[in-house]
Each structure stands twice: as C-alpha cells, then as structure tokens.
Amino acid sequence: MTAAWVLHIDLDQFLAAVEVLRHPELKGLPVVIGGDGDPTKRGVVSTASYEARELGVHSGQPLRTAAKRAPDAIFLPVDKDTYEEVSERVMATLRTIEGSVVEVLGWDEAFMGITTDDPEAVAREIARRVKERTELDCSVGIGQNKLQAKIATGFGKPAGVYRITNDTWYPLLGDRPTEALWGIGSKTAKKLANLGFHTVRELAAADPKVVAAELGPTTGPFMVLLARGRGSAEVTDSPWIARSRSRETTYQNNLTEWSEVRAEILRLAALVSEDVRAEQRPAVRVVVKIRYAPFITKTHGEALDEPTAEPATIAAAALTALDWFTERRPVRLLGVRAEFPEVEEDR
C-alpha cells in the first residue's frame, strides 16, 4: 500500500570515513578526529572511527581523555573544507531520488520525505547511490515521522536499513530507558527518573501536567509525546536558517584571573557582533558559556531590550550574563552566542 514515509539518512562515522578514503592505510585502525589533531592539547573529539569507539572514545570527549583510552589511535585535525565538499556531493546524490524532498540536517545527515509502497527498497537504492558516487556507507532509518526515522537509523547501523512504525514503537522501545529517545539526554533522564519515569512506556503513560511541573509547560508535554512515538512528519527543502551565531575558545592554559575572563568575553562578543552584522539579522539574546577546569560547563543568558546588531549592546549583554557566574574557578573554555528571533522558516 502506497504511503508517506520519512527516511533519515546518516553517514556512518562520516569524518573518519572521509579520512580513510584519503588515507587507505588507516582502514581498520582507531582514528580520532578533533581540534588540530594534537591530543596533548586541549580540544574535543569531533568523530571517532568504530575501532576507536570500541576503545571508549566518543564525540565530545576531551582529546586528552581519548588519548588515554586509545593511546595507539591515529589523531587527525578537522578538515572542514573537505568534509563540506564531500557532504555536498552526498546531498546532491540524495536529491536524485525521484519524488523525494531532502531536508539537510548537517554534514552527515538528512531527512527525506517520500511516498512509496516499499520504503526499504528506496532506502537500499539511496545507500547504493551514495556508495557508488562517494564510496561512503550510510544507514537509513524509516518511520512514520522524523522521530521514528531518526531512532530507526541507530538500529540500522552500520550500513543498514531499519523501520519503526506506530505499531512497532512500544514492542521495540517500550522497556528501554527514556534516554533512548531522540531529544532526551542524561540530565533530563535523571529528572524523569526522580518522577518515577524510568522507561519509555512509563513516560508515555505519564500525565503531561506532572512532567510539566518538573520540566516546564512546553518541554514536559513534549517529552510525553516523544515517549508515545509522536512527532512531525513534515520534511522541507527550505534552506536552513541559523538560529544563532557563536564563537568560543579553548585555552591551553587555564584563565585564573577574572579580569582575563572579562577581556576574553569582550573579544568574543566583538567577533559575534561581526557575525551578526554579516547575517543581517538582529540578535535578541546573548548567552555566555564557561567551561571550568577540569570539564564542568555552565551557561547564562541575557535577553536584549530590543533586537539589535550593535556591538556595544551585545558586549554589554555578554558582561551582564557573565556577572551571573559567581564561581571564580580556573576557566578552560569561554563562549559567546547571539540568538536570533524565531521566524516562520525556523520552525
């Protein structure tokens, strides 16, 4: 029976796979990509090959920690230009599927909307074309909405195809922890556990008002809908519009004087202001991010009185947000983010 389906295409270990194509001698070895490729410096892992993941390396992990877990791994710098070029070829390949709509999510993933009576056949054709034209493997998740398709991809990895539907949702995910859901991280899972909701099925049966009391009037009911396998099925090929612009710096030596921190916040705010001006959209909120040593991250934001791109106003808001940080511990990373107002295209 012909029906509308959402497909989620995710390139397997994308950055590492691109590097292996360029350096075939790395095939089968633990490869870690991040920063400038020097694991003795501060930085985080962007991607790790499956061989490195088996040793405990994962995205977002400090490079130094990765080096301890995988001392024999090959560390490589991030090569943004190359990854973007390969990504564009992949997305162009997806657009060759007749009758599909492609919504790009990033370098290595996209949603596709398609009407067919055999979504698995379409998924296999997608994987074949991507492999033929780029030599890269991808996994394809199939669902009745984006949530189902995104989660299905994880079951299909590596280089596989998997389908999740309303009928298979609870048999497959009902007894899994809430953290198995796309959009629920460890912190939210702990809050849900404190309310007595440990599994997807328990959260799905929850009173949205109870969850809202803990997580907020919008987030709470949304979490319950996630657990019920509900989500948007709309796939759009409208150009992606940035919701914010940010700059951040990881310091090889901790900042120990707060005067240094303030000076760096002003420097980053000036760079963000340039980005906002280039975007030709005003900012409505400024957020400051601090990562204390050894690796504790906190953020505070300041809403602007009115939308603006004025550097002085953005800098002042950044300093106001900084004043919310009361701890004066050594700092290893600072960031400033300017957020844009929501527009219809963002939704």
pLDDT in tens, 108-141: 999 999 999 999 999 999 999 999 999 999 999 9
Same-domain pairing of 140 and 6: yes
pLDDT of 1 strictly over 70: no
Bond from prior residue into 282 cis (ω within 30 degrees of 0): no
Could you list the residue range(s) of the whole structural domain that residue 16 is in? 1-164
Please return the burial class of 13, using the count of CB atoms within 10 Å of its CB with bins 0-12, 13-18 and 19+. buried
Here the tokens at position 168 are: 């298979």
Q: What is the CATH number of the domain that holds 186?
A: 1.10.150.20
109 flagged as catalytic: yes
Same-domain pairing of 55 and 194: no
Mapping DSSP to helix (H, G, I), strand (E, B) and coil, where does residue 330 land?
Answer: coil
Spatial CA neighbour of 337 closest among 263, 258, 293, 283: 283
Assign residue 186 a region: left if phi > 0, alpha if psi is -120 to 50, beta otherwise?
alpha
Residue-level pLDDT at 54: 97
Point out the catalytic residue in the list 109, 202, 302, 339.
109
pLDDT of 91 strictly over 70: yes
Same-domain pairing of 39 and 119: yes
| Amino acid identity at 250 | T
Same-domain pairing of 160 and 45: yes
Same-domain pairing of 160 and 180: no
Q: What is the CATH number of the domain that holds 335?
A: 3.30.1490.100
**Tens-place pLDDT, residues 155-166:** 999 999 999 999
**Tens-place pLDDT, residues 205-256:** 999 999 999 999 999 999 999 999 999 999 999 877 888 999 999 999 999 9
DSSP 307: E
Q: What is the CATH number of the domain that holds 79?
A: 3.30.70.270
**Tens-place pLDDT, residues 271-289:** 999 999 999 999 999 999 9
Give the largest CA-CA distance in the chain: 66
Residue 190 lies in a domain: yes
Assign residue 16 a region: left if phi > 0, alpha if psi is -120 to 50, beta otherwise?
alpha
Residue 327 lies in a domain: yes
Same-domain pairing of 184 and 280: no
Number of domains in the chain: 3
Same-domain pairing of 23 and 141: yes
- Average pLDDT of the residues in 8-34: 96
Same-domain pairing of 155 and 187: no
Contact 115, 2 (CB under 8 A): yes
Same-domain pairing of 267 and 181: no
Residue 169 lies in a domain: no
Residue-level pLDDT at 85: 96
Same-domain pairing of 145 and 294: no
Residue 233 lies in a domain: no
Mean pLDDT of the chain: 94
